[in-house]
Amino acid sequence: MKSETRLNDHGRLVTVIVACVGLTLGGVVMQGLGPRIAMAGDNKILPAHACQPEEDPEYTIFSARYLENDLGAEQTYWCPVLRDDTQSELEFVRVRVENRGSSYKRPECTVHSVSVGGTFTDSEYEESPSTTGFFSLEFPLNGFTEYDNGHFVIECTLGDEDRILSYRTNESP
């Protein structure tokens, strides 16, 4: 009986030690990951489903993997950019598209920085290569003006059956 109690006491002691070690390790891991997690918060990847077609949504195919223009002609999509800080800078934008080559029109996107009053706009434009396949349209946004309290929006025009997969924005304070 006594030895069983000693064994149970021993078990409790081990339990406490393991819990303490777990907590310590957890703290170390959290400390190490904390800044990375905070940095990752400035990078946002949105699915193409956040984009709105200019025409009737009936002519857009939404799947888990992509948004596809099903209009039978080129169509424009508007993709919102979330601005966490009203005075933040947009470091870069990347839009992942697929040129399926079913029309002469290749996927092209423009990032707009629009002033509060809408009178002034800074824009940067990229188009995918003419070959078929997946492409990342890169917008380094050099010499780009980000208007305090203004907004950003991405405008993409797709040929028939072309796709947007996702887009990524990086915001810095």
- Positions that interact with another protein (CB under 8 A): 4, 7-8, 10-12, 14-23, 26, 30, 33-34, 37, 87, 89, 108, 110, 115-127, 141-150, 155, 157
Name which of 100 and 107 has its Cβ closer to another protein.
Answer: 107
- Nearest approach, Cβ of residue 22 and another protein (Å): 4
- Nearest approach, Cβ of residue 81 and another protein (Å): 16
- Nearest approach, Cβ of residue 62 and another protein (Å): 24
Name which of 70 and 122 has its Cβ closer to another protein.
Answer: 122
Name which of 67 and 111 has its Cβ closer to another protein.
Answer: 111
- Nearest approach, Cβ of residue 64 and another protein (Å): 28
Token reading at 7? 């064994």
- Nearest approach, Cβ of residue 136 and another protein (Å): 16
Cα separation, 11 vs 24, whole angstroms: 20
Strands 163-172 and 89-99: antiparallel
Q: Yes or no: say if 86 and 156 are a contact pair by the CB < 8 Å rule.
A: no
Rounded (5°) CA angle 91-96-97: 140
Name which of 43 and 63 has its Cβ closer to another protein.
Answer: 43
Name which of 13 and 45 has its Cβ closer to another protein.
Answer: 13
Closest CA to 126 of 98, 106, 145: 106
The SS3 call for residue 135 is strand
Strands 52-53 and 89-99: unpaired
